[in-house]
Structure 1
Amino acid sequence: MTKLSVNINKIATLRNSRGGDVPNVIQFAKDAQAFGAEGITIHPRPDERHIRYKDAYDLKPIVYTEYNIEGNPVPKFIDLVIEVKPTQVTLVPDAENAITSNAGWDTIKHKSFLQEVITEFQNNGIRTSIFVDPDLHQIEGAKETGTDRIELYTESYAHQYSLGNKEAIKPYMECAGLANTLQLGINAGHDLSLDNIKFFKENITGLLEVSIGHALIAESLYMGAESVIKQYLEKLK
């Protein structure tokens, strides 16, 4: 089974736009799990423009599925993750002013840094994953960092699939094959949606988890969160 982790950043964005507590991030996380989601993902950024650091602490006692915290491992983020101790930390090299994540790690150039950070998280009992582009050299580099998993950055697949180009799945298939050979766990995320998730899942051997936020929340505006989450679960079977 491929687990569905719901990224709730957009719920926090909507809440923050009015300065109150509606919609309530904690309640949405509870509901998502009740609807069948097998994980909750958050991606706190330094400016706290959506998920706040306080949210990370508040969510800890109510996430009884997998708790995944994504982010750039700056000192403040590292401290947060070690204190909260989620199930998994996903390392993403996003700049502070980035609207959203837009590239994977250069695992070769940043090997020493990633090794150091990953070792610290693993020593605290936290599973590690690193965000990577679908490039075989980067998968090999990821193995050298000691990470438990990789998260394949799926924006290029999603864009090409929307244009009718199903050949865009090929580099992801090749990377998954190599990752399986290297005994790296495989996660995936970014721009995955109800339209493209089934084809992706069918072609990626060993896919353990997908993290989906923007599309899932947008689809829920039309169809309701419970219906949408159940549709994802069905497509991920």
Structure 2
Amino acid sequence: MADFVYRTVMHDIKQNILDNKYEGMRLPDERSLAEYYHVSRSSMKRAMELLSQQGIVFKKRGSGTFINPLYLKNQSLFRYEGSNLGLTDSLKVPGKKLGIKLLDFHVVEATAEIAQDLFLNKNEFVYEFHRLRLIDQQPFLLETGYVPIKIVPELKAEHLKSSLFNYLEDTQNKVVTKAFLNITVEPSSIEDQKLLKLQTTEPVGVMAGIFFLDDGTPFEFSTMRIHYQYMRFNTFVNLNQ
């Protein structure tokens, strides 16, 4: 019977999320939810665990449980397990050499959408960067990323010519342990065709994702446009499970 209880609660919370019934993208605490649904704390905890495992919500240590913005946008997530979330380490190709070419790097005020995705306040600033990734000097991925200045205030252009996640771990002992990604395919743009060497009739793979630190803090929002021949990324990483 308890099995049906927590699943019923989980489905109701999912619907409330879709109906925008939680202010500030934040859910009430487990005790309040348990009292509201008249269920035990253990049933409520199980329901929240399932929502977290599905990528619908995430917990930020010391702050509470929040709704994943990408779930609201797409309601379709992928999940994978691995040892490193950075593309530098996770997209290894046997016998091939990976490279990064930094195209642009500057500071901008976060747009309303970026601020929501990274849980920033109004008027906060982020680093915006564009990088081209290569395999044996052949371009295969065009990346646009946004990182809050307050998390890595000393970030410089040279740090973005290699793994950003490794730099974060080496300098601040912070680890990116979770990512929520949306994966699609669309017609290539003029920029895609120029930088990724695509024909006008060839598509491009697109991954949009939010990457989280191990304490639940959103660290980066990134959009990656991938040459269709290399579009093999189809899993989700969570190192906390």
TM-score category, normalised to shorter length: under 0.3
Larger Rg: 2
Bigger share in strand? 2
Give TM-score scaled by structure 1 length: 0.26
Give TM-score scaled by structure 2 length: 0.26
